[in-house]
Amino acid sequence: MYNFVLVRMELNKTMSHTMEPPIRSKPVLVTGASGYVGGRLVRALEDLGEQVRCLARTPAHLEARISGGTSVVQGDAVTGDGLDMALAGVGTAYYLIHSMGSAGGFEKKDRKAASNFARAAAGAGVDRVVYLGGLANENRNLSPHLRSRLEVGRILRSSGVPVVELRASIVIGSGSLSFEMIRSIVERLPVLVTPRWVSVLAQPIGIDDLISYLVESREVDAQESPIYEVGGADCASYAGLMRECARQMGLKRILIPVPVLTPRLSSLWLGFVTPLYARVGRKLIDSIRHPTIVHRNEAGRVFSVQPSTVDTAIQRALENEDREFAETRWSDALSASGSAPDSYSKSKPYGGTRVGRRLVDSRELRVEASPAMAFGPIRRIGGKTGWYALDFLWRFRGLLDLLVGGVGMRRGRRSPNGLAVGDPLDCWRVEAYEPESRLLLRAEMRLPGRAWLQFEVVPCGAGSRVRQTAIFEPAGLLGLAYWYGIYPLHAAVFEGMLRGIARSAQGKPFHMTKQIEDLSARESKFQSALQESGF
């Protein structure tokens, strides 16, 4: 009996050892790690014991999302900076970069980034590149976005490095671009006036299945640079997805197709009723007007993935959304905002010294609360909490931003209580975050310049002092005109916001009964500031 126990213990020890995730000799590089798919892929590779390396333009935006064993190399595929260092010694390199959310000529940026990456991968002797592209029929007249996705694959294969290309349709998962659009429409509109593109067939894939395909792509034969079309178990249109989402949410929705809604009008419509802003919505609609169905199912013979059905993928997505935040979201990617990722500490003024200098509005209040209590309202700012004063003006500013192709105010925040560097927060992005002491936000709305909003809390006797600072770098005379032209409104918003934060920190309900009182006094301050600037 004793010998049997010893043998059983040794067997269990051997089995547990063999079940541990293997640690591979060569690191795996993930580009686009701040994005929706990339962020989840990094987590999956870390769980498997891989040596993960990420390429990021702003490494600080990844620090809260990666484990201690994952390294980050600062670089940019579009400029080529940092690619050689990032790819050195790499076995598998995941290429998840795209510029769909960027303003301007995204095709040119995609082409340049892919060319730089292909050249650097070949020079570094990378074993394989895994590329996630878009599912499309190459013989059709494709949208610029899908055309660019196919072109990137060709550029990567031209390097001579073996490439495993996965082509996927709609991705269903909590926080995904398509799912957030569908869920928002179903939640907010009992009667859905739908354009023609909602009836186009696709083959949606659950995010968990897509990550499994990406992970297994490290092992499949890559010598011939294969292309695999991957999708879920079912074909469905956006209309079908809306109906299934409504069914699982217990909502009754009526769909009325309207053939006159053009892609531009549809994108504006999406901007009003969903978190998508018009620029991203237009590119999405341009792409989903084409059927995205798996025609060649070689992936079913090569991969072990058993794709989920549409109803299962939606169920999983809703379950994750019910936890108030997704693991990753489509808006996490810096490129989604279409704005430059300049940080406050590294940004350079526009133009000349006089026109390009920073304009600052700084205010502070003392509160009878500890720093932790005083910082609480700041940590929860935005999203469902709001901005503590004149929220209707924030919403109006967001509406104007949507109309000119900006991000608006619909993105909300990842978590009602937690923040991390890189998080989108309404029309802002978290630039720096020090719990209980400092929050720095960078504006991603359309502006004639660059703007930041900073909150600081410092101990002050038995209480704390809360300092709020708005920083603006005007782009020429138009930027100056913008700042001084709406200075009275800014003054009312900033002062009301600071007082609202102070009252909330002290546990008092906040009522702005005199939000724009003393406007004449503020106007005199505005005139003084105007004279001091020499404008």
pLDDT 10s digits, 78-101: 999 999 999 999 999 999 998 655
| DSSP string for 450-516 | EEEEEEEEEEETTEEEEEEEEEEEE-HHHHHHHHHHTHHHHHHHHHHHHHHHHHHHTT-----TTTT
β pairing state of 205-206 and 171-172: parallel
* Nearby residues of 294 by Cβ (< 8 Å), 6 or more positions away: 135, 169, 203, 229, 230, 231
Spatial CA neighbour of 207 closest among 105, 317, 46, 107: 317
Rg over alpha carbons for the chain, rounded to the nearest Å, is: 25
The residue among 342, 320, 338, 316 whose CA lies nearest residue 329 is 320
End-to-end CA separation in angstroms for the chain: 94
Q: Which class does domain 20-335 fall in?
A: alpha beta
Q: How far is CA 318 from CA 172, 182, 184, 325, in A?
A: 10, 11, 12, 11
Segment 289-316, tens digit of pLDDT: 678 889 888 999 999 999 999 999 999 9
The pLDDT tens digits of the residues spanning 2-44 come to 343 333 334 344 444 444 444 457 999 999 988 889 989 999 9
How far is 156 from 227, CA to CA, in rounded Å?
12
pLDDT at 99: 67
Tell how strand 438-443 and strand 428-434 pair up: antiparallel
Distance (Å, whole) CA 292 – CA 308:
17
The string of DSSP codes covering 99-164 is -TTSSS-HHHHHHHHHHHHHHHHHHHT-SEEEEEEE---TTS---HHHHHHHHHHHHHHTTSS-EE
Superfamily of domain 353-533: START domain (3.30.530.20)
Taking alpha carbons only, the member of 388, 466, 387, 375 closest to residue 418 is 375
Domain ranges of the chain: 20-335, 353-533
With b meaning 16 or more CB within 10 Å and e meaning fewer, what string describes 391-430? bebbbebbeebbeebbbbbbbbbbbeeebbbbbbbbbbbb
- Phi/psi for 139 (5° steps) reads -85, -5
Buried b (16+ CB within 10 A) or exposed e, 190-227: eebebbebbeeebbbbbbbbbbbbbbbbbeeebeebbb
Distance CA 55, CA 254 (A): 45
Unique residue bearing structure tokens 């003024």: 349
Q: What is the pLDDT of residue 260?
A: 59
CATH topology match: 20-335 vs 353-533:
no
Find all residues with CB under 8 Å of 89, minimum gap 6, and list them: 26, 27, 124
Q: Are 422 and 429 in contact (CB under 8 A)?
A: yes
What residues in the chain have per-residue pLDDT under 70?
1-24, 99-105, 139-140, 259-289, 321-357, 405, 508-535
Specify the DSSP class assigned to residue 408: T
Query: Which pLDDT score is estimated for 278?
Result: 44
Report the alpha-carbon distance of residue 535 to residue 531 in Å, rounded: 7
User: CA 152, 158, 159 angle in degrees (round to 5)?
Assistant: 105
Helix-then-strand count for the chain, H and E: 18, 19
Per-residue pLDDT, 266: 57
Q: Based on the number of CB atoms within 10 Å of its own CB, is 174 exposed (0-12), middle (13-18) or buried (19 or more)? A: buried
pTM score of the predicted model: 0.66
d(CA 308, CA 320): 16
